[in-house]
């Protein structure tokens, strides 16, 4: 940027999340697979995150850490967000810290935008 600051990342994933994708893919017998993160209409707040293993990225996907794939349409609703892996008493799961989301539901999978 002209003032020397850096533009915010389109989307990022923590090293812990990328490592967990590799571990899950290996345990499924698909060691080269990655995680496809998509945003779909639905859920109790309007939009929901969808997580799937994918053998390869699509041609126009943003690829993070070689293991996380995000399509351009979903990226609009994930701009500046970060994927992480959380291990809590209720279980281990991927979590998305999304600055575009204005509210979310208790399950952490559904969100709305303003």
Structure confidence at residue 54 (pLDDT): 97
pLDDT at 43 over 80: no
Listed residue (106, 44, 107, 104) closest to 77, CA to CA: 104
How far is Cα 13 from Cα 96, in angstroms, rounded to an integer?
A: 9
Confidence of residue 42 (pLDDT cuts 50, 70, 90): confident
Looking at the DSSP bridge assignments, the partners of residue 63 are 69
Work out the pLDDT band at 47, boundaries 50, 70, 90: confident
> What would be the CATH architecture of the domain defined by 11-113?
Sandwich (2.60)
- What confidence score (pLDDT) does residue 1 get? 44
pLDDT at 84 over 80: yes
Across all residues in the chain, what is the average pLDDT? Answer: 85
Q: Which residues of 60-78 are buried (b: 16+ CB within 10 A; e: fewer)?
A: ebbebbebbbbbeebbebb
Residue ranges of domains in the chain: 11-113
Q: Which residue has the higher pLDDT, 94 or 46?
A: 94
pTM for this entry: 0.82
């Amino acid at each position: 940027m002209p003032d020397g600051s850096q533009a915010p990342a389109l989307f990022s994933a923590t090293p812990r999340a990328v490592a967990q994708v590799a571990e899950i893919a290996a345990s499924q017998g698909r060691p080269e697979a990655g995680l496809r993160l998509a945003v779909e209409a639905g859920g109790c707040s309007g939009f929901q995150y969808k997580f799937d293993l994918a053998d390869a990225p699509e041609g126009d996907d943003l690829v993070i850490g070689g293991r996380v794939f995000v399509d351009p349409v979903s990226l609009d609703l994930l701009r500046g967000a970060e994927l992480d892996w959380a291990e809590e008493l209720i279980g281990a799961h991927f979590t998305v810290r999304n600055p575009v989301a204005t509210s979310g539901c208790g399950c952490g999978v559904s969100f709305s935008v303003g």
